Amino acid sequence: MDWLKDRVIKRGFRPPLVFNAQLRLNSERDASRGVFVDVPRREVRIRRWGGGTIVLPLSEEDVKWIEQRVGEGAALAFAMAWVGRSRRSRTVALYVALAFRREVTQMMPKRLLVVDFNALHNGVVWAAVEEKRILQRGVLRPHIYKIIRLQREISQLDSLCAKKGNPRTCRQARATKSRLWRLLRSWEDEAAKKIVQLALRYKAAIVADVPLDESMRELKEGRYSAEKKAFLNFGCLRRRIRELAEWHGVAYREERLYSTICPVCGAKMKEVPDRRVKCQCGFKAHRDEVPALWTVKRYKELLPSFSTWLLAAARSI
Protein backbone atom coordinates (compact mmCIF):
# COMPACT_ATOMS: atom_id res chain seq x y z
CA MET A 1 0.00 0.00 0.00
CA ASP A 2 1.34 3.49 -0.86
CA TRP A 3 1.47 6.28 1.67
CA LEU A 4 2.53 9.87 0.99
CA LYS A 5 4.51 12.17 3.26
CA ASP A 6 5.37 15.75 2.38
CA ARG A 7 7.83 18.41 3.46
CA VAL A 8 7.13 22.13 3.07
CA ILE A 9 10.38 23.96 2.38
CA LYS A 10 8.58 27.23 3.08
CA ARG A 11 4.98 27.51 4.19
CA GLY A 12 2.06 29.26 2.52
CA PHE A 13 -1.67 29.02 1.85
CA ARG A 14 -2.39 29.48 -1.88
CA PRO A 15 -3.52 26.49 -4.01
CA PRO A 16 -0.34 24.78 -5.27
CA LEU A 17 0.81 23.76 -8.73
CA VAL A 18 1.98 20.15 -8.97
CA PHE A 19 5.29 19.29 -10.69
CA ASN A 20 7.04 16.05 -11.54
CA ALA A 21 10.25 15.99 -9.54
CA GLN A 22 13.66 14.38 -9.28
CA LEU A 23 15.86 13.87 -6.23
CA ARG A 24 19.67 13.91 -6.50
CA LEU A 25 21.47 12.36 -3.53
CA ASN A 26 24.89 11.78 -5.10
CA SER A 27 25.81 12.40 -8.74
CA GLU A 28 22.63 11.31 -10.55
CA ARG A 29 22.09 12.86 -13.97
CA ASP A 30 19.56 15.70 -14.20
CA ALA A 31 16.46 14.34 -15.99
CA SER A 32 15.09 17.86 -16.72
CA ARG A 33 11.94 17.49 -14.63
CA GLY A 34 9.93 20.42 -13.34
CA VAL A 35 11.53 20.41 -9.90
CA PHE A 36 15.07 19.21 -9.20
CA VAL A 37 15.99 18.61 -5.55
CA ASP A 38 19.78 18.72 -5.38
CA VAL A 39 20.82 17.52 -1.91
CA PRO A 40 24.62 17.80 -2.42
CA ARG A 41 24.21 21.45 -3.44
CA ARG A 42 21.55 22.09 -0.76
CA GLU A 43 19.05 23.61 -3.19
CA VAL A 44 15.75 23.09 -5.00
CA ARG A 45 15.55 24.23 -8.62
CA ILE A 46 12.17 25.02 -10.19
CA ARG A 47 12.12 25.28 -13.98
CA ARG A 48 9.87 28.02 -15.32
CA TRP A 49 7.68 27.37 -18.37
CA GLY A 50 8.91 30.49 -20.18
CA GLY A 51 12.55 29.68 -19.48
CA GLY A 52 14.86 30.27 -16.55
CA THR A 53 15.13 28.61 -13.14
CA ILE A 54 14.07 29.59 -9.63
CA VAL A 55 16.46 28.39 -6.90
CA LEU A 56 15.47 27.89 -3.26
CA PRO A 57 17.98 26.89 -0.56
CA LEU A 58 17.60 23.70 1.48
CA SER A 59 18.24 24.10 5.19
CA GLU A 60 20.08 21.47 7.20
CA GLU A 61 16.72 20.53 8.73
CA ASP A 62 15.25 20.02 5.24
CA VAL A 63 18.19 17.85 4.19
CA LYS A 64 17.92 15.75 7.35
CA TRP A 65 14.18 15.26 6.73
CA ILE A 66 14.81 14.15 3.11
CA GLU A 67 17.54 11.72 4.16
CA GLN A 68 15.24 10.24 6.83
CA ARG A 69 12.51 9.61 4.24
CA VAL A 70 14.97 7.98 1.85
CA GLY A 71 16.32 5.89 4.74
CA GLU A 72 12.77 4.65 5.35
CA GLY A 73 12.61 3.38 1.77
CA ALA A 74 10.59 6.28 0.33
CA ALA A 75 11.01 7.93 -3.07
CA LEU A 76 10.22 11.48 -4.15
CA ALA A 77 6.80 11.35 -5.85
CA PHE A 78 6.13 14.97 -6.84
CA ALA A 79 6.54 18.58 -5.72
CA MET A 80 4.06 21.40 -5.20
CA ALA A 81 4.75 25.14 -5.47
CA TRP A 82 2.61 28.17 -4.64
CA VAL A 83 2.77 31.81 -3.59
CA GLY A 84 1.73 32.85 -0.09
CA ARG A 85 2.50 35.07 2.88
CA SER A 86 4.91 34.15 5.66
CA ARG A 87 3.47 33.80 9.16
CA ARG A 88 6.13 36.04 10.69
CA SER A 89 6.66 39.00 8.34
CA ARG A 90 3.49 38.67 6.20
CA THR A 91 5.66 39.17 3.08
CA VAL A 92 4.76 37.34 -0.14
CA ALA A 93 7.10 34.47 -1.06
CA LEU A 94 7.34 31.30 -3.13
CA TYR A 95 6.73 28.03 -1.22
CA VAL A 96 7.56 24.45 -2.15
CA ALA A 97 6.38 21.13 -0.68
CA LEU A 98 8.04 17.79 -1.46
CA ALA A 99 5.88 14.66 -1.35
CA PHE A 100 7.48 11.25 -0.76
CA ARG A 101 5.82 7.89 -1.36
CA ARG A 102 6.72 4.41 -0.14
CA GLU A 103 5.30 0.91 -0.12
CA VAL A 104 3.99 -0.04 3.33
CA THR A 105 3.26 -3.49 4.69
CA GLN A 106 0.45 -3.13 7.19
CA MET A 107 1.33 -4.48 10.62
CA MET A 108 -1.16 -7.05 11.94
CA PRO A 109 -1.87 -5.82 15.48
CA LYS A 110 -1.53 -8.08 18.51
CA ARG A 111 -2.54 -5.42 21.06
CA LEU A 112 -4.26 -2.06 21.28
CA LEU A 113 -2.82 1.34 22.14
CA VAL A 114 -5.62 3.59 23.39
CA VAL A 115 -5.02 7.35 23.18
CA ASP A 116 -7.30 9.66 25.17
CA PHE A 117 -7.44 13.30 24.02
CA ASN A 118 -8.18 15.54 26.99
CA ALA A 119 -7.91 19.28 27.05
CA LEU A 120 -4.16 19.31 26.49
CA HIS A 121 -3.21 20.90 29.81
CA ASN A 122 -4.41 17.60 31.32
CA GLY A 123 -2.27 15.76 28.79
CA VAL A 124 -2.75 13.09 26.14
CA VAL A 125 -3.16 9.82 28.04
CA TRP A 126 -2.06 6.56 26.43
CA ALA A 127 -2.29 2.94 27.54
CA ALA A 128 -1.03 -0.29 25.97
CA VAL A 129 -3.74 -2.93 26.34
CA GLU A 130 -3.90 -6.64 25.72
CA GLU A 131 -6.64 -9.08 26.60
CA LYS A 132 -7.82 -8.67 30.21
CA ARG A 133 -5.08 -6.24 31.29
CA ILE A 134 -3.34 -2.89 30.85
CA LEU A 135 0.38 -3.35 30.19
CA GLN A 136 1.54 0.23 30.63
CA ARG A 137 0.16 3.76 30.64
CA GLY A 138 1.55 7.27 30.48
CA VAL A 139 0.76 10.94 29.85
CA LEU A 140 2.22 13.34 27.27
CA ARG A 141 1.93 17.05 28.11
CA PRO A 142 3.00 20.17 26.20
CA HIS A 143 4.99 23.04 27.76
CA ILE A 144 1.96 24.24 29.72
CA TYR A 145 3.39 27.28 31.51
CA LYS A 146 5.28 28.51 28.45
CA ILE A 147 2.12 28.27 26.34
CA ILE A 148 0.04 30.15 28.91
CA ARG A 149 2.73 32.86 29.16
CA LEU A 150 2.78 33.28 25.37
CA GLN A 151 -1.03 33.40 25.27
CA ARG A 152 -1.03 36.21 27.81
CA GLU A 153 1.62 38.11 25.87
CA ILE A 154 -0.45 37.73 22.69
CA SER A 155 -3.58 39.00 24.44
CA GLN A 156 -1.77 42.10 25.74
CA LEU A 157 -0.05 42.83 22.43
CA ASP A 158 -3.27 42.37 20.43
CA SER A 159 -5.05 44.79 22.76
CA LEU A 160 -2.30 47.41 22.38
CA CYS A 161 -2.20 46.88 18.61
CA ALA A 162 -5.97 47.40 18.35
CA LYS A 163 -5.96 50.52 20.58
CA LYS A 164 -2.83 52.34 19.37
CA GLY A 165 -2.15 50.80 15.97
CA ASN A 166 1.59 50.91 16.62
CA PRO A 167 3.26 48.94 13.78
CA ARG A 168 6.02 47.71 16.10
CA THR A 169 3.50 46.35 18.61
CA CYS A 170 1.50 44.68 15.84
CA ARG A 171 4.68 43.03 14.51
CA GLN A 172 5.49 41.82 18.04
CA ALA A 173 1.99 40.32 18.30
CA ARG A 174 2.44 38.44 15.01
CA ALA A 175 5.92 37.26 16.02
CA THR A 176 4.62 35.97 19.38
CA LYS A 177 1.76 34.13 17.67
CA SER A 178 4.33 32.54 15.35
CA ARG A 179 6.42 31.43 18.36
CA LEU A 180 3.34 29.88 19.96
CA TRP A 181 2.40 28.13 16.70
CA ARG A 182 5.93 26.70 16.33
CA LEU A 183 5.96 25.56 19.97
CA LEU A 184 2.64 23.74 19.61
CA ARG A 185 3.61 22.23 16.25
CA SER A 186 6.93 20.99 17.63
CA TRP A 187 5.19 19.34 20.57
CA GLU A 188 2.52 17.81 18.31
CA ASP A 189 5.24 16.30 16.10
CA GLU A 190 7.09 14.84 19.11
CA ALA A 191 3.89 13.53 20.73
CA ALA A 192 2.73 11.88 17.48
CA LYS A 193 6.16 10.30 17.02
CA LYS A 194 6.14 8.97 20.60
CA ILE A 195 2.66 7.44 20.23
CA VAL A 196 3.47 5.70 16.93
CA GLN A 197 6.76 4.42 18.36
CA LEU A 198 4.80 2.94 21.28
CA ALA A 199 2.38 1.30 18.83
CA LEU A 200 5.29 -0.23 16.92
CA ARG A 201 6.97 -1.41 20.13
CA TYR A 202 3.83 -3.14 21.39
CA LYS A 203 2.73 -4.27 17.88
CA ALA A 204 -0.52 -2.45 18.60
CA ALA A 205 -3.25 -0.76 16.61
CA ILE A 206 -4.04 2.79 17.74
CA VAL A 207 -7.53 3.47 19.09
CA ALA A 208 -8.02 7.22 19.51
CA ASP A 209 -10.74 8.26 21.96
CA VAL A 210 -12.09 11.53 20.61
CA PRO A 211 -14.59 13.72 22.52
CA LEU A 212 -17.93 14.47 20.95
CA ASP A 213 -18.20 17.76 19.03
CA GLU A 214 -20.94 18.89 21.42
CA SER A 215 -18.68 18.33 24.42
CA MET A 216 -15.84 20.32 22.88
CA ARG A 217 -18.20 23.16 21.93
CA GLU A 218 -19.46 23.35 25.51
CA LEU A 219 -15.88 23.53 26.81
CA LYS A 220 -14.87 26.24 24.33
CA GLU A 221 -17.93 28.32 25.12
CA GLY A 222 -17.81 27.60 28.85
CA ARG A 223 -15.67 28.26 31.87
CA TYR A 224 -12.22 27.95 30.32
CA SER A 225 -10.05 31.06 30.39
CA ALA A 226 -8.75 32.50 27.12
CA GLU A 227 -5.27 31.20 27.94
CA LYS A 228 -6.46 27.64 28.49
CA LYS A 229 -8.64 27.49 25.39
CA ALA A 230 -5.45 26.96 23.35
CA PHE A 231 -5.30 23.52 24.96
CA LEU A 232 -8.66 22.53 23.45
CA ASN A 233 -7.31 22.52 19.87
CA PHE A 234 -5.89 19.06 19.25
CA GLY A 235 -7.25 18.41 15.77
CA CYS A 236 -3.77 18.87 14.27
CA LEU A 237 -2.30 16.36 16.73
CA ARG A 238 -4.95 13.79 15.75
CA ARG A 239 -4.09 14.27 12.07
CA ARG A 240 -0.36 13.98 12.77
CA ILE A 241 -0.86 10.70 14.65
CA ARG A 242 -3.08 9.28 11.91
CA GLU A 243 -0.69 10.29 9.10
CA LEU A 244 2.39 8.99 10.91
CA ALA A 245 0.61 5.73 11.77
CA GLU A 246 -0.28 5.25 8.10
CA TRP A 247 3.31 6.00 7.07
CA HIS A 248 4.60 3.23 9.35
CA GLY A 249 1.85 0.72 8.56
CA VAL A 250 0.12 1.02 11.95
CA ALA A 251 -3.66 0.58 11.93
CA TYR A 252 -5.54 3.62 13.30
CA ARG A 253 -9.17 4.30 14.10
CA GLU A 254 -11.21 6.74 16.18
CA GLU A 255 -13.65 5.30 18.66
CA ARG A 256 -15.80 6.82 21.40
CA LEU A 257 -14.54 5.48 24.74
CA TYR A 258 -16.21 6.82 27.86
CA SER A 259 -14.55 8.53 30.81
CA THR A 260 -17.67 9.19 32.90
CA ILE A 261 -19.60 5.96 32.18
CA CYS A 262 -18.82 3.10 34.56
CA PRO A 263 -16.96 0.23 32.81
CA VAL A 264 -18.38 -2.18 35.41
CA CYS A 265 -22.13 -1.50 35.41
CA GLY A 266 -22.58 1.09 32.64
CA ALA A 267 -24.12 3.77 34.86
CA LYS A 268 -23.29 7.48 34.70
CA MET A 269 -20.59 8.26 37.26
CA LYS A 270 -20.23 11.32 39.48
CA GLU A 271 -17.20 13.55 39.20
CA VAL A 272 -15.36 14.26 42.44
CA PRO A 273 -12.31 16.51 43.08
CA ASP A 274 -8.91 15.86 41.47
CA ARG A 275 -10.41 14.54 38.22
CA ARG A 276 -11.69 11.38 39.85
CA VAL A 277 -15.01 9.63 39.27
CA LYS A 278 -17.09 7.23 41.33
CA CYS A 279 -20.09 5.04 40.62
CA GLN A 280 -23.04 3.88 42.69
CA CYS A 281 -21.79 0.30 42.23
CA GLY A 282 -18.64 1.13 44.19
CA PHE A 283 -16.23 1.60 41.27
CA LYS A 284 -13.75 4.50 41.69
CA ALA A 285 -10.92 5.68 39.45
CA HIS A 286 -9.15 8.65 37.95
CA ARG A 287 -11.20 9.64 34.91
CA ASP A 288 -8.12 9.38 32.63
CA GLU A 289 -7.93 5.65 33.45
CA VAL A 290 -11.53 4.89 32.42
CA PRO A 291 -11.10 4.87 28.57
CA ALA A 292 -8.34 2.24 28.92
CA LEU A 293 -10.63 0.14 31.12
CA TRP A 294 -13.35 0.40 28.45
CA THR A 295 -10.77 -0.79 25.89
CA VAL A 296 -10.02 -3.82 28.07
CA LYS A 297 -13.75 -4.51 28.29
CA ARG A 298 -14.24 -4.18 24.51
CA TYR A 299 -10.92 -5.81 23.57
CA LYS A 300 -12.44 -8.85 21.83
CA GLU A 301 -14.68 -6.53 19.81
CA LEU A 302 -12.02 -3.98 18.78
CA LEU A 303 -8.98 -6.11 17.94
CA PRO A 304 -10.72 -8.52 15.49
CA SER A 305 -12.24 -5.52 13.68
CA PHE A 306 -8.72 -4.25 12.93
CA SER A 307 -7.60 -7.65 11.67
CA THR A 308 -10.64 -7.97 9.38
CA TRP A 309 -10.13 -4.49 7.98
CA LEU A 310 -6.43 -5.08 7.28
CA LEU A 311 -7.05 -8.41 5.53
CA ALA A 312 -9.70 -6.79 3.34
CA ALA A 313 -7.31 -3.94 2.50
CA ALA A 314 -4.53 -6.37 1.63
CA ARG A 315 -6.80 -8.31 -0.76
CA SER A 316 -7.80 -5.08 -2.52
CA ILE A 317 -4.23 -3.91 -3.24
pLDDT at 184: 86
User: What is the tens place of the pLDDT at every residue in 88-112?
Assistant: 556 777 888 899 988 888 888 999 9
Mean pLDDT of the chain: 82
DSSP per position, 240-270: HHHHHHHHTT--EEEE---SSB-TTT-PBPE
Q: Which residues contact 188 (CB under 8 A, 6 or more apart)?
A: 236, 237, 240
- Domain positions in the chain: 2-103, 111-257+298-316
Question: Which segment of 21-30, 38-47, 157-166, 216-225 scores lowest on mean pLDDT?
Answer: 216-225
pLDDT, tens digit, 9 for 90 and up, residues 206-240: 999 876 555 555 555 555 555 555 566 677 888 89
Under the banding of pLDDT at 50, 70 and 90, the label for residue 241 is: very high
Question: At residue 11, does pLDDT exceed 90?
Answer: no
CB distance 99 to 4 below 8 Å:
yes
pLDDT average, residue stretch 282-287: 91
CA 58 to chain centroid: 24
Checking if the pLDDT of 149 tops 60, the result is: yes
Q: Which of 105, 38, 104, 42 is nearest to 76 (CA)?
A: 38
- Provide mean pLDDT across the span 53-78: 91
